[in-house]
Chains A and B, each alone.
Chain A
Amino acid sequence: MEIKWYIGLSVALFCTGIIGVLTRRNSIVVFMCIELMLNAVNLLLVAFSKMHAASALAQLTPAVVSDAQIFVFFIMVVAAAEVSVGLAIIIMLYRNTHSADINFLNRLNN
């Protein structure tokens, strides 16, 4: 499979996430679109690592392929920590305003 199809798929998923962030006001959906963008980047990292594996195999040079997959692993670690804190903030928003509207986030600064 050529790398351009993976780039196209990842860019399409990323832009779908961006459109979601720009057009939705429900804070949970905005948060999910951020997760979608993170996953698009993860997919592209893994695809590039396997592209390096193919080119190193063709030129008979040793490949450093596992590093990108370790990066993806750490991105998942950071995303898990980020989700727990973010959802706590959204719960606090709901407790204070009885709505998940992202425009009410400025009411938290009392």
Chain B
Amino acid sequence: MSITEILFWGLSFLALFSAIMVVASKSPVHSILFLIVVFFAISGHYILLNAQFLAIVNIIVYAGAIMVLFLFVVMLMNLNAESEPKKNRILQFAGLISGGCLFLVLISAIIKSVSANNLVQMGGGDYGLIKNLGIVLFKDYVIPFEISSVLFLSAIIGTVVIGKKAE
């Protein structure tokens, strides 16, 4: 087993365990902290795939900005495990069964359709470096890039309008 495979399986188990703990933990703060662990594990996967720009952006945007926003909201709302609303047992069980059925269907449909010689290039290839991505982004995708600034502007305005106290 090479070092890449050991890292792959370690990061996969870390991501899966933390994802299950996000769903299973009672307190929302614990869910947020486990979700940060998931994001770091996925960033590790990006580094294994030599997508370094995405790994750094994932850490900065998701684990840095978005999760801090979540933590601030939970702090403002004073939620804890006692005030946690719960669904009843039957609905929880039904959700678990339907999610598990979706998992089985997707796995059994996809595993048959991929052949074993579809290998993923681990490391190598400088496609994911900032230089190459920047050339593609500002040459082929410059219009979506500019439109995303309009999206952000509308998100800012929408957040201010929604969050304003209704008088």
Secondary structure of the B contact surface, majority rule:
helix
Q: Which of A42, A46, A51, A63 contacts B118 (CB 8 A)?
A: A51
Are B118 and A92 interface neighbours, CB within 8 A? no
B49 to chain A, nearest CB (A): 5
Check A24/B23 contact, CB under 8 A, given A15-B103, A77-B151, A85-B158.
yes
Residues of chain A at interface, number, CB under 8 A: 74
Are B103 and A43 interface neighbours, CB within 8 A? no
A50 to chain B, nearest CB (A): 5
Q: Which of A16, A63, A82, A88 contacts B163 (CB 8 A)?
A: A88
- CB contacts (< 8 Å) of B103 on chain A: these are 11-12, 15
- CB contacts (< 8 Å) of A12 on chain B: these are 16, 19, 103
Are A7 and B110 interface neighbours, CB within 8 A? yes
Check A19/B99 contact, CB under 8 A, given A66-B136, A70-B141, A92-B163.
yes
A14 to chain B, nearest CB (A): 8
A54–B120 Cα distance when bound, in Å, is: 6
Are B39 and A18 interface neighbours, CB within 8 A? no
Residues of chain B at interface, number, CB under 8 A: 84
A106 to chain B, nearest CB (A): 15
Q: Does A28 contact B (CB under 8 A)?
A: yes
Check A22/B125 contact, CB under 8 A, given A83-B69, A100-B77.
no
Highest count of chain B CB atoms <10 Å: which of A1, A5, A99: A1
Name which residue of chain A comes closest to B104, CB basis: A15
- CB contacts (< 8 Å) of B70 on chain A: these are 28, 31-32, 83, 87
- CB contacts (< 8 Å) of B122 on chain A: these are 1, 50
